[in-house]
Structure 1
Amino acid sequence: MNTHVDPGPPLLAAYQRARTGHVQEAEQSVARTLSLHRVVDVSGDLDLTHNAVRVGGLTLLYINYGAELTIHLQSPYEPYYLVQIPLQGSMRILRDGERLEAKVGTAVITEPGHVTSRLQYSANCARLLVKIPPALVEQRLHEFAGTGRADELGRALPGVLDVTDGAGRTWMELVRTGVADLDAGAFMLSLPSAIGYFENLIVDGLLVVRGDGHAPADVEAVPSMRGALEFIDAHLDSPIGVLDIASATHMSIRALQIRFQRELGVSPIAYVRNRRLEAVYRDLYVGSADTSVYAVAARHGITHLGRMAAAYREKFGESPSDTLRAAAGRRGNG
């Protein structure tokens, strides 16, 4: 990791969330805009600068911990896209067991469906970050449906992005333009029309990066249904959507939907709902005296009990409570 360097003046200084040398305060401040985490293995004096501002659905951040340190992410994980761009120093992350590294001129991208467990930052690793909610990406992909680029834009994002060349450079210049306007007083990004335009440019720019030849042609041509089904079963307790499944299996959204309809006769989301209902039924069928319908449903990613109960009755011909009572009757007879 790099030695101590001068990161220059902080970006987004008018939107400061915290400036602190205390680990607990640093954790709490950053968690409010990103995810729960623990700061460990601090080498040197911690001096967090945390600036953050919402621009439409996007969040732009500037973070510099000052010291070299490691971060361990903690569940529950909020699903979002995050692009981390080192302006000084370097960083490493562990994503799905793979180590990714970025320095000045590159960026690290994490997205829903991938597990990031550890992040390491060099001393004075000043970073510009862009946080994007999945709903924005889903919306823009939907608007691309029917265009000639819909398939390529549905591919998985690269883990590390070169922001000095090609589509990555263009995207980085868009981000810099927005940050410069905010630092100058938000002359453009105080206008609702400009905010919506900027939001779309940033998301569309990432989608262009996504479709810029980073998915192997043979993977795209012959997508793996087995991988999709295994991913779904492993993440039933998480709020997964079509984009998450497509990203995890390196399929376009259109290819994923076609394969599910052709081979299973349902959409990917309908399949996820069915698997969750089946998992709930199995747990209730063997339930104990301490089992509750709410706890079992929550364990399998279901939060709306009313909708779940109606779908459950339609699928199994009884209510969740009926299944649980039948389990109690079997225990009594046993």
Structure 2
Amino acid sequence: MATDSVSEGAGDSPHTFHNEYNVLSQARDAMCDFMYTHHLSVANPEAVRFRHSGLQLTELNVSQIQYGTSVTVDLEPMEEYYSISLPIAGTQSLTHGDCTTHSDRYRGIVICPNQAVQLTMSGNCRKRLVRICRSALEHQLHKLLGTAVTDPVIFEPAMDAQQGQMASWWRMVKNLEREQKHSVSLFVDGPILAHVEEMLVAGLLYGQRHNYTEELAKVTTITVPIYVRRAQSYIREHARHNLTIESIVAAAGIPKRRLYEGFKRCCGIAPMQYLREVRMTGVRGELLGSRCDDDITTVALRWGFSHLGRFTREYKKRFGELPSATRARCR
């Protein structure tokens, strides 16, 4: 017996899904489609009871998965995703080269792109799995650092989920799951979810050690000057208006050159680039919202994008998909 269903959550976004397969090949194909190419081995194929359910946001996915029997998964290197998992029951272990990391409900594991690894799961293992797009994580790190991310982000594979910052991170993940049960929730509708995703990605970067940790720690000690905060607040409040650099400088109350220097040092971008980021995020939030019936052109114009061809190109470069694909996901 094998069943497969996809359903939407209480709101139009994010989408929730539920897959069930009792056939080994179908379970393998489902996970190949979901995240990675792999070889799946089990001692007793007849015992497979694959269950995978969760919610799909824009840049990340939160789900629960189990096979119903002990499995060994030989993963080929992923290119597009980071995989972060934590058992709810049972155990799992990750082998990368000569290093093996054991995982239970107190200790999670991280699999990074371009790593060939072997994953084993006990027969009673049921785990939470967070899949994060590599492009979203690198973009977030770029925003936090203010400089280009030249090398792949490589996390330590072992994650302390019992105490500390990553324990807090997993509590956020579980709360996001719980909120999907409510018909009305800030964590079900579109605009807020963009901020939730950003918070989860940033939380992973701050909480789990990786090859940029020291560099990130240095940047976070920088105090954002009050004139930069004034300019940021002014931009966010008036992003739909016809803003000029002169009006932003006037709101900040300092010379243009000093404002540019402050933005470059604290944000890594110029004030007008910051405005475009705010506007892009605003458009995406509306397109993901379940209550927005305006067409894409109307939404883009409302946020100050008058050159629609350029807007579409920049949107795809920023989010990895066309505005029409974002809107279609929430229909």
Shorter-chain TM-score range: 0.5 to 0.7
| Structure 2 residue matching 1:93: 3-state secondary structure | strand
**2:134 is the alignment partner of 1:134:** yes
AA matched with 1:178: L
Structure 1 residues 14-43: Cα deviation after superposition (integer angstroms, max 9, x where no partner): 934321211011111222211122221334
Aligned to 2:102: 101
**2:75 is the alignment partner of 1:73:** yes
Aligned to 1:294: none
Change (3 A) 1:144 1:161: same
**2:44 is the alignment partner of 1:24:** no
Aligned to 1:172: 170
Change (3 A) 1:32 1:214: same
| Structure 2 residue matching 1:87: 3-state secondary structure | strand
| Structure 2 residue matching 1:81: 3-state secondary structure | strand
**Structure 1: 4+ residue segments shifted above 4 A:** 211-217
Give the distance between the partners of 2:132 and 2:112, measured in 1 at CA: 9
How do 1:189-200 residues align onto structure 2 when only pairs under 5 Å count?
A: 189-200=187-198
- Retained in 2: the 8 A contact 1:84–1:127? yes
**2:57 is the alignment partner of 1:59:** no
Structure 2 gap segments, 5+ residues each: 1-8, 10-14, 219-331
Change (3 A) 1:88 1:204: same
Give the distance between the partners of 1:142 and 1:214, measured in 2 at CA: 11
AA matched with 2:66: N
Structure 1 gap segments, 5+ residues each: 1-11, 221-334
Scaled by the length of structure 2, what TM-score is found?
0.54
Q: Highest CA radius of gyration, 1 or 2?
A: 1
- Percent of pairs identical after alignment? 19
AA matched with 1:162: D
1:186 CA displacement: 6.7
AA matched with 2:52: H
- Retained in 2: the 8 A contact 1:91–1:102? yes
Change (3 A) 1:55 1:29: same
- Retained in 2: the 8 A contact 1:174–1:201? no
Scaled by the length of structure 1, what TM-score is found?
0.54
Change (3 A) 1:205 1:216: closer
Aligned to 1:120: 120
| Structure 1 residue matching 2:43: 3-state secondary structure | strand
Give the distance between the partners of 1:115 and 1:15, measured in 2 at CA: 29
AA matched with 2:62: L
Give the distance between the partners of 1:186 and 1:55, measured in 2 at CA: 17
How do 1:75-94 residues align onto structure 2 when only pairs under 5 Å count?
A: 77-94=78-95
Give the distance between the partners of 2:108 and 2:66, measured in 1 at CA: 15
Give the distance between the partners of 1:145 and 1:214, measured in 2 at CA: 9
AA matched with 1:90: T
AA matched with 1:98: C
Change (3 A) 1:102 1:212: same
How do 1:245-256 residues align onto structure 2 when only pairs under 5 Å count?
A: none
Give the distance between the partners of 2:184 and 2:79, measured in 1 at CA: 28
1:211 CA displacement: 4.8
Structure 1 residues 108-132: Cα deviation after superposition (integer angstroms, max 9, x where no partner): 001124332x111001200100000
AA matched with 1:57: E
How do 1:234-245 residues align onto structure 2 when only pairs under 5 Å count?
A: none
- Retained in 2: the 8 A contact 1:96–1:114? no
Give the distance between the partners of 1:15 and 1:24, measured in 2 at CA: 23
AA matched with 2:110: I
Change (3 A) 1:37 1:115: closer
- Retained in 2: the 8 A contact 1:89–1:103? yes
Aligned to 1:288: none
Change (3 A) 1:71 1:207: same
AA matched with 1:205: G
